[in-house]
């Protein structure tokens, strides 16, 4: 998925977009989206027209559709589905961007978008678009700051991460490992649990759906937990709270167990009693808090990739129309790593 510079191309008069057809009621379905054709947008003064190369989908976007993600605003049917993508500039009039530049920004689920140049990050075209969207994208950066700044993991500590085979989770576990922690990952199948160990170098992989999960979880954390990186909330958060060490840290990254439903469950038992008794710090964060430091995270993540201590996992989809299915799969736990929807082969 490397993208090079190309000559100016003839532009079509129409392009395809994926709209939110209806706000999900219960679990997300592909029928909640609709593909339609629309006139090609025309960039106004100072703006640029971009052709989407690939998009990624994050679990947090389901919280956006639920109305529970403060940063995403109120969800609304009839709109183009929002989202992050890598795109190529296809029309620009002066300014810092040139036709052919590869950029990262809020492309949405559509083939073309008009963008403010300041809202775009110019990318290195020699890096895979899937890496720009995954391990070096918002989810990779989320993992980096969640582990280093919120969890403040130290060498020798026990680090546990939920949704460990997912986009944020697989990077978080590898970052903690690179920093010298003992890493336990929780995922949704035996295959994923084995992959965490065999492919990504985690110390232990656990299947949250197995009958003996609670016993296996205790056995995997004999010295209890110093940092729990919580992507899920729900039962897993509760189980981890009961295993925290004194002065442990719970990194509240997301609540995916409560997104794909119209009836989110209550919070876990143990708050605040266990936090008080064990002097545990439980802290939520949003990656946007760290925006001025994104480059620092990307440099360190790239260095770990070059050194072979960080492996990027992706699940690929082909064509804009496959985005709704990728979203449904992500929530159902059938993807691994970052879902990447290839929209255009530049
Ligand atoms: N704080 C921030 O700034 C920030 C930024 C980005 C993402 N996030 C959060 O990070 C988390 C992960 O996002 P992602 O995009 O990387 O998604 P992801 O982990 O790639 O995909 C979601 C995973 O959650 C697991 N899951 C689904 N339902 C579950 C349930 N009921 N209980 C436990 N696990 C369940 C599934 O994995 P298994 O079936 O394998 O367990 C699924 O693959 C989300 O909570 C998201 O909101 C936060």
Q: Which residues pair with 20 in a beta bridge?
A: 33
More confident residue, 142 or 3: 142
Residue 56, ligand 1, Cβ within 6 A: no
Residue of 85, 249, 89, 255 whose CA lies nearest to 168? 255
Q: pLDDT tens, 66-101?
A: 888 877 778 899 999 999 999 999 998 878 899 999
Residue 287, pLDDT score: 97
Q: In which residue are the tokens 């890496």 written?
A: 131
Q: How many residues does the chain have?
A: 346
Q: What is d(CA 260, CA 67) in angstroms, rounded to the nearest whole number?
A: 12
Residue 186, pLDDT score: 98
Q: What is the average per-residue pLDDT within 235-239?
A: 97
pLDDT for residue 255 is more than 80: yes
Task: Give the three-state DSSP class for 269.
Answer: coil
Cβ atoms 271, 302 nearer than 8 A = no
Q: pLDDT tens, 49-60?
A: 999 999 999 999
Residue 345, pLDDT score: 87
pLDDT for residue 7 is more than 80: no
Tokens of 250: 């719970």
pTM of the model: 0.96
Q: What is d(CA 236, CA 174) in angstroms, rounded to the nearest whole number?
A: 20
pLDDT for residue 2 is more than 80: no
pLDDT for residue 259 is more than 50: yes
* Model confidence band, residue 8 (pLDDT cutoffs 50, 70, 90): low
Cβ atoms 52, 343 nearer than 8 A = yes
Mean pLDDT, the chain, whole residue set? 95
Q: Which of 26, 28, 55, 59 to mutate to test the pocket of ligand 1 (most atoms within 8 A of CB)?
A: 59
Tokens of 293: 């430091």
Q: Which of 231, 326, 331, 337 to mutate to test the pocket of ligand 1 (most atoms within 8 A of CB)?
A: 231
Residue 58, ligand 1, Cβ within 6 A: yes
Q: What is d(CA 42, CA 48) in angstroms, rounded to the nearest whole number?
A: 9
Q: Which residues pair with 314 in a beta bridge?
A: 338
Residue 65, ligand 1, Cβ within 6 A: no
Q: What is d(CA 185, CA 220) in angstroms, rounded to the nearest whole number?
A: 10
Q: What is d(CA 236, CA 161) in angstroms, rounded to the nearest whole number?
A: 10
Q: What is d(CA 111, CA 54) in angstroms, rounded to the nearest whole number?
A: 9
Task: Dump the DSSP string for 127-179.
Answer: S-HHHHHTTTSHHHHHHHHIIIIII---TT-EEEESSTTBHHHHHHHHHHHHT
Q: pLDDT tens, 150-202?
A: 999 999 999 999 999 999 999 999 999 999 999 999 999 999 999 999 999 99
What domains can be seen in the chain, in order of their start residue?
A: 14-134+312-342 (3.90.180.10), 138-288 (3.40.50.720)
* Model confidence band, residue 225 (pLDDT cutoffs 50, 70, 90): very high
Nearest CA to ligand 1 atom 18: 166
pLDDT for residue 5 is more than 50: no
Q: How remote is the CA of residue 272 from the centroid of ligand 1, in Å?
A: 24
Residue 213, ligand 1, Cβ within 6 A: no
Report CA 111 to chain centroid distance, whole Å. Answer: 21
Element (H, E) at 315: strand 314-318
- The phi, psi pair for 336, rounded to 5°, reads -125, 145
């Amino acid at each position: 998925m490397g993208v090079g510079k190309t000559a100016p191309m003839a532009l079509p008069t129409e392009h395809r977009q994926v709209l939110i057809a209806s706000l999900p009621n219960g679990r997300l379905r592909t029928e909640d989206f609709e593909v339609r054709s629309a006139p090609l947008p025309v960039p106004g003064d100072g703006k640029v027209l971009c052709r989407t190369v690939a998009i990624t989908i994050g679990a947090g976007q389901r919280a956006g559709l639920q109305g529970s993600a403060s940063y995403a605003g109120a969800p609304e049917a009839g709109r183009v589905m929002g989202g992050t993508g890598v795109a190529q500039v296809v029309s620009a009039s002066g300014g810092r961007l040139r036709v052919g530049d590869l950029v990262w920004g809020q492309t949405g689920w559509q083939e073309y978008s008009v963008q403010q140049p300041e809202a775009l990050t110019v990318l290195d075209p020699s890096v895979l678009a899937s890496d720009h969207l995954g391990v070096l994208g918002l989810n990779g950066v989320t993992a980096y700051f969640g582990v280093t700044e919120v969890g403040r993991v130290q060498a020798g500590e026990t680090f546990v991460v939920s949704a460990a085979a997912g986009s944020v989770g697989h990077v978080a576990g590898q970052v903690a490992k690179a920093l010298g922690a003992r890493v336990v990952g929780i995922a949704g199948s035996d295959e994923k649990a084995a992959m965490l160990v065999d492919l990504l170098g985690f110390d232990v992989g656990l299947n949250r759906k197995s009958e003996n999960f609670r016993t296996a979880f205790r056995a995997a954390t004999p010295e209890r937990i110093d940092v729990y990186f919580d992507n899920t909330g729900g039962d897993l958060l509760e189980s981890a709270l009961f295993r925290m060490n004194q002065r442990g840290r719970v990194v509240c990254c997301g609540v995916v167990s409560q997104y794909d439903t119209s009836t989110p469950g209550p919070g876990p038992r143990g708050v605040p009693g266990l936090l008080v008794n064990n002097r545990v710090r439980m802290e939520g964060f949003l990656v946007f808090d760290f925006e001025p430091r994104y480059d620092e995270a990307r440099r360190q993540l790239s260095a770990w990739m070059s050194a072979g201590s960080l492996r990027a996992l992706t699940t690929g989809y082909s064509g804009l129309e496959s985005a709704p299915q990728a979203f449904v799969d992500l929530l159902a736990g059938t993807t691994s790593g970052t879902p990447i929807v290839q929209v255009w082969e530049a």
